[in-house]
A and B are shown apart, each in its own frame.
Chain A
Amino acid sequence: MMDQSLGETSFLQRDPVFRLTRIAGRILLYGLLIGMSLWFLAPLFWMFMSSFMPLDQVGVFPVQWIPRVWMPENFTEALKFWNFGTTFRNTMLITVFSLIGDIGSCTVVAYGFARFRFPFRDTLFLILLATLMLPFAVRLIPVYAAYDAIGWIDTFYPLIVPNFFGNAFYIFICRQFFLGIPQDLLDAAKIDGASEVRIFTQVMIPLAKPAIVVIAILSFQNSWNDFLGPLIYLKDPDLHTLAIGLYKFTSLPGQGGIYNQQMAASTMMVLPVLIVFFLFQKQFIQGANISGLKG
């Protein structure tokens, strides 16, 4: 569009009609971008604003954006019904241990697929890719029955332990990354007499940091946002996670109408995620890209 290499373009740029259509195009472009941003952000902005509103203001039509009076007590009121402390602690616990399991198992397995030759390796990798297609509904019932049989219902184990056995998608991400590390580096370490385990922990892991950060973010999002798992495995209110706590709070009998407090509760659950998102934006976007770009 702006290539000066093509003579006709620079000639055209001096043409008033061309410049006008160009300016009009730019205005239209930025207008669309602003419009779309409003569409995407309005619900979140309203969540934040209404969490400070008095209850009667939330039900006004058409919608109002600025609280008539600011009511931070919506948050303290919400906390009376919604055990934020316990659910937050439970969620953190599950998230942290799942993260450790995911990073540990997926780097190790990915390294095995990327750097060693063994019979049926490619068949096994194809199976790994195929498991990505298996709907969770197919796994749900037998796995639930198995956990029930070994007494793991109402424990955090069903939400943590599977992560120690590798996640197909994270393994895929990590393997792609390992494949990109030059073989010379490994050969050099081997000549220096480093063992396979040492090469993995002291050469590969430090190099794989970018991939590990992406996996960590995906794993964090996965545990923090998970709804179905905690819903079926955790019945004891003391074990509830933030997601379940928020769901229960909004569906409490008789509490259906306290929109402002529900929005305050939602704000409390969303804020930690948004903080992590703003700190690691680049990795979030990389994570999305790896999932949809690499063939």
Chain B
Amino acid sequence: MATSFGSQLSALRGRRRERWRDLSPMRKREARFGLLFISPWIVGVLLFSLFPFVASFLLSFTRYNIVQPPEWIGTEHYVHIFTDDPLFLKSLRNTAVYVGGSVAIRIVLGFALALLLNAKVRLLGLWRTLFYLPSVVPIVALSVIWLYVLNARAGLLNSFLYAIGLPRFRWFADPDIAMIGYLIMSTTWVGVTMVIFLAGLQGIPEEYYDAAKIDGANVFQRLLRVTIPLMTPTIYLNILINIINAFQVFTQIFIMTDGQGGPRDATRTYVLHLFDHAFQYLPPQMGYSSALAWILFMIIFFFTAVIVTTSQRWVFYQGGENGA
């Protein structure tokens, strides 16, 4: 999606002059049909994106508990968040650990697995299905399963560590490693990025490798000079999508810690903190929660902007064409 921003923008410039009154009757008819067809989305985007976007911004400057009308208090929530809410910084740090760790796992492990499957293996379809399978399991069921995978006394992971001679860990009780447990759990979804990378790898023409071979490039040189550069558009898009999603991690931690983000807030993520204020506090602090939501939006926006702008330096498009 993001890679086509450039081409979309240039198309936009060419069309700017097109005004309704300049259109021929034929084109007016066409335009009316087009608008008719997209009208459900127009209503939807106003109701479910624009309205909440603006409303949550306004609500972030109010005290609001849903029962009584919002009361304007200016920037009080923001001041409180930045000066007097230790859990804000803590949840942000926990989230940062999850974003960094899980995105790295999904990209690096996903790419490595895709490379393995692209090495002309037998039963390719079977392996791909097996690796992808865990990602389709409903997250509630996965959370219930992983409660016991990470169980300190008799869990699967500790049994595995014990079997290979490593120490066992108290995944849910030790604040220093609690987040690592969720990072290990995030390997469950590696199959998604693997499938995407594999499709990308299969699209690289064999001639490129032949040419590199004739030039005397070994396996690693081919990987670094041919495969990875050609894959950068896919890597870029997946880093972007995964970062946006990882910042919003919530469900598995909510279920596995019963909404507490324990032990001692060591796994309280940003959205969990926000959810707490809106839906678990009595009376609900919807205004405060909205302020937290807007800060999250700004953070995600910042990261997206940085990645999109720096992408021009490292993302390589075939034939120099900017847009996939």
Contacts and interface: CB of A to CB of B under 8 A. Distances in A.
B89 interface: no
A239 B38 CA distance: 33
A103 to B, nearest CB: 12
A247 B140 contact: yes
Contacts of A242: 138, 140
A117 B32 CA distance: 9
Interface stretch (A66-74, A123-131, A208-216): A123-131
B67 to A, nearest CB: 9
A63 B158 CA distance: 9
B217 interface: no
Nearest to A197: B33
A195 B233 CA distance: 40
Nearest to B200: A293
Given A1-B120, A5-B210, A119-B31, A292 B8 contact: no
Nearest to B7: A295
A128 B8 contact: no
Nearest to A285: B195
Interface in A53-74: 58-63
B113 A124 contact: no
A138 B130 CA distance: 36
B11 interface: yes
Contacts of B196: 288-289, 291-293
B40 A105 contact: yes
Interface stretch (B74-82, B97-105, B143-151, B172-180): B143-151
A114 B132 CA distance: 31
Given A165-B48, A295-B2, A108 B210 contact: no
B300 A47 contact: no
Given A46-B156, A133-B301, A141-B278, A41 B8 contact: no
Given A263-B145, A273-B138, A166 B158 contact: no
A75 interface: no
A295 B323 contact: yes
Nearest to B286: A141
Contacts of B87: none
B3 interface: yes
A28 to B, nearest CB: 10
B132 A117 contact: no
Contacts of A166: 40-41, 44-45
Contacts of B33: 112, 116, 196
Interface size on A, as a range, is: 35 or more
B250 A133 contact: no
B37 A111 contact: yes
Contact of A165 (B32, B43, B117, B238): B43
A84 to B, nearest CB: 13
A89 interface: no
A107 B302 CA distance: 33
Given A61-B153, A138-B53, A118 B34 contact: yes
Nearest to B297: A138
A270 interface: yes
A43 B27 contact: no
Given A63-B156, A295-B1, A124 B38 contact: yes
22 contacts: A6-B214, A40-B131, A41-B134, A60-B154, A61-B162, A112-B36, A117-B30, A119-B19, A121-B15, A133-B304, A135-B293, A135-B300, A137-B274, A137-B296, A138-B52, A139-B49, A140-B278, A141-B289, A144-B66, A266-B144, A270-B138, A273-B136
Interface of A: 1-3, 5-6, 29-30, 32-33, 36-37, 39-44, 46-47, 50, 58-63, 105, 108-109, 111-113, 115-119, 121-129, 131-146, 148, 162, 164-166, 171-172, 196, 200, 221, 224-225, 227-228, 232, 242-243, 246-247, 250-251, 259, 262-263, 265-266, 269-270, 273-274, 277, 281, 284-285, 288-289, 291-295
Interface of B: 1-5, 8-9, 11-12, 15, 18-20, 23, 27, 30-38, 40-45, 47-49, 51-53, 55-56, 59, 64, 66, 113, 116-117, 119-121, 127-142, 144-149, 153-156, 158-159, 162-163, 187-188, 190-193, 195-196, 199-200, 206, 210, 213-214, 233-234, 237-238, 241, 244, 247-248, 250-251, 254-255, 258, 271, 274-275, 278-279, 286, 289-290, 292-294, 296-297, 300-301, 304, 323-324
The 4 closest A-B pairs by CB, nearest first: A165-B44, A112-B37, A295-B324, A116-B34
